[in-house]
C-alpha cells in the first residue's frame, strides 16, 4: 500500500554548518508540503570547498541498520526516493539495493538520482564511483539530474554544442532513464548558464544569467525543487523547469548580492555564499516565473 501524501526518502550528505545535501534539500521540500525522511551519507563540519573538512562517513552496516529499522516498523512506504552525494562505491551499490526494496513496497516509487561526482572537469568523489553510477544506479532512475561534467563522464561523450547535448541525453534515455535533466551547461558562453530537460518526447532549454561566482549546494537544491515541482505540476516538464530555475535564480542572486555587500571585490569565500534558503522561504513556496523554457526541436 502506498501513502497518498508525498513522502520522500532522501539519502544525501549532512553538514553542520551551511547548505548542501540534505541541508539544502529538506527545508525547501518541507516548505513545499513534502514529508522528508533523511539519511545522512556523511556528517561533515562544512562542505568540501572549505579549507578544513572534519567529520565522518556513514558505514554500510549503519545504512543497513537504519533501513532495517524503517522496515521493521513498517514505515518504509515512500512515493519518492532522492539520492545525492555518496562517497563510496559500496554505499552506492547499497543504494541500488534500497531502490529495489522500496519499489517492492511501492511499484510506483519515483527515483530521482543526482549523480553527484564533480563539476568543471574535476571529480570531488573517488573515481571508482563513476562506473557504479553508470552501470548499476542510473538504469534504475526515473529522473536523472547530472550537470554537464557528470553527463559527459556517464556517457563518455563530449558536449560542445546543443547537438552533442541531445546525443548525450539520448544515450542516458537509452540506459532506461525516463526524464533527463542537465542542471547546468556552459553552452551559453560566459554570460549564460543553460539547463536542458528531456522526457524522451519533448526537450526544453532554459537560459539564466550567470552569476560571477561558484555556488555549492545549488545542484542539490535543483534536484529537490525539480522533484517537488514535477510532482506538483503532474509531470509538466516545461513548467517544472521554469519553477525550479526561477527559484534558484532568485536565491543565487540574493545570496550573491548580500555577499558583495560584505565583500565588494575579489573572490568570495565559501562561508559568505552559503545559500540564503530561510530568508527566501516565500520564494520557495510560490516562485514567480521569471525565466521561460524554450522547446528544442529535434
Ligand X SMILES: Nc1ncnc2c1ncn2[C@@H]1O[C@H](COP(=O)(O)OP(=O)(O)O)[C@@H](O)[C@H]1O
Task: Tell me the catalytic residues.
Answer: 220
Scanning 13-21, 161-169, 242-250, 252-260 for contacts with ligand PMP by CB under 6 A, the matching segment is 13-21
Q: How far is the CB of 252 from ligand X (least distance, A)?
A: 5
User: Rounded CA gap, 19 and 273, in Å?
Assistant: 10
Binding mask 67-96 for ligand PMP (x = CB under 6 A): ------------------x-----------
Contact status, residue 80 vs residue 110, Cβ threshold 8 Å: yes
Shortest reach from residue 114's CB to ligand PMP, in Å: 7
109 or 208: whose CB is closer to ligand PMP? Answer: 208
* DSSP assignment of 27-90: HHHHHTT-EEEEEEEEEESS-TTSS---EEE--HHHHHHHHHHHHHTT----SEEEE-----HH
Q: What's the CA gap between 148 and 145, in Å, rounded?
A: 10
- Rounded Cα–Cα distance for residues 51 and 270 (Å): 9
DSSP annotation of 5:
S
Q: How far is CA 293 from CA 98, 154, 231, in A?
A: 34, 25, 18
Q: Who's near 152: CB < 8 A, 6+ residues apart?
A: 158, 159, 168
Q: Which is nearer to ligand PMP, 48 or 235 (CB)?
A: 48
Site for ligand PMP in 218-257 (CB under 6 A): 218-220
Q: How far is the CB of 62 from ligand X (least distance, A)?
A: 26
From the list 217, 237, 251, 268, which residue makes contact with ligand PMP (rule: CB under 6 A)?
Answer: 217
Per CB under 6 A, the segment of 44-52, 64-72, 160-168, 256-264 that binds ligand PMP is 44-52
Question: Beta partners for 38?
Answer: 10
Q: Which of ligand X, ligand PMP, none is residue 245 near (CB under 5 to 8 Å by kind)?
A: ligand X
The angle at the Cα of 10, spanning 169 to 282, to the nearest 5 degrees, equals 90
Position closest to ligand X via CB: 219
Name the strand (E) or helix (H) holding 91: helix 89-105
Specify the stretch interacting with ligand PMP by CB under 6 A; choose among 39-47, 75-83, 154-162, 230-238: 39-47
Judged by the rule CB under 6 A, the positions of this chain that interact with ligand X are 119, 147, 183-184, 193, 195, 208, 210-211, 213, 215, 218-219, 222, 245, 248-249, 252
- 20 near ligand PMP, rule: CB under 6 A: yes
Site residues, ligand PMP (CB under 6 A): 13, 15, 20-21, 42, 44, 47-48, 85, 116, 124, 216-220
Amino acid at each position: 500500500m502506498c501513502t497518498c501524501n508525498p513522502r520522500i526518502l532522501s539519502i544525501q550528505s549532512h553538514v553542520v554548518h551551511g547548505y548542501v545535501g540534505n541541508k539544502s534539500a529538506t527545508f525547501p521540500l518541507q516548505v513545499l508540503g513534502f514529508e522528508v525522511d533523511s539519511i545522512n551519507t556523511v556528517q561533515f563540519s562544512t562542505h568540501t570547498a572549505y579549507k578544513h573538512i572534519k567529520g565522518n562517513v556513514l558505514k554500510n552496516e549503519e545504512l543497513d541498520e537504519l533501513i532495517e529499522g524503517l522496515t521493521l516498523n513498517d514505515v518504509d512506504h515512500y512515493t519518492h526516493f532522492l539520492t545525492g552525494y555518496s562517497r563510496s562505491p559500496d554505499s552506492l551499490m547499497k543504494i541500488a539495493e534500497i531502490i529495489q526494496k522500496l519499489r517492492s513496497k511501492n511499484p510506483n516509487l519515483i527515483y530521482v538520482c543526482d549523480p553527484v561526482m564533480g563539476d568543471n572537469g574535476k571529480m570531488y568523489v573517488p573515481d571508482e564511483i563513476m562506473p557504479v553510477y553508470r552501470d548499476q544506479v542510473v538504469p534504475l532512475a526515473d529522473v536523472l539530474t547530472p550537470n554537464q561534467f557528470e553527463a559527459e563522464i556517464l556517457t563518455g561523450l563530449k558536449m560542445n554544442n546543443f547537438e552533442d547535448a541531445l546525443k548525450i541525453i539520448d544515450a542516458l534515455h537509452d540506459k532506461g532513464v525516463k526524464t533527463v535533466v542537465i542542471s547546468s551547461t556552459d553552452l551559453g558562453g560566459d554570460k549564460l548558464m543553460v539547463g536542458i530537460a528531456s522526457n524522451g518526447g519533448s526537450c526544453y532549454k532554459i537560459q539564466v544569467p550567470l552569476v560571477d561566482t561558484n555556488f555549492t549546494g545549488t545542484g542539490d537544491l535543483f534536484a529537490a525543487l525539480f522533484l517537488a515541482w514535477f510532482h506538483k505540476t503532474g509531470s509538466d516538464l516545461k513548467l517544472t523547469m521554469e519553477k525550479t530555475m526561477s527559484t534558484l535564480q532568485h536565491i543565487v542572486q540574493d545570496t550573491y548580492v548580500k555577499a558583495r555587500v560584505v565583500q565588494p571585490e575579489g573572490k568570495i569565500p565559501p562561508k559568505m555564499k552559503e545559500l540564503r534558503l530561510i530568508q527566501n522561504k516565500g520564494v520557495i513556496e510560490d516562485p514567480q516565473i521569471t525565466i521561460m523554457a524554450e522547446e528544442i526541436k529535434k
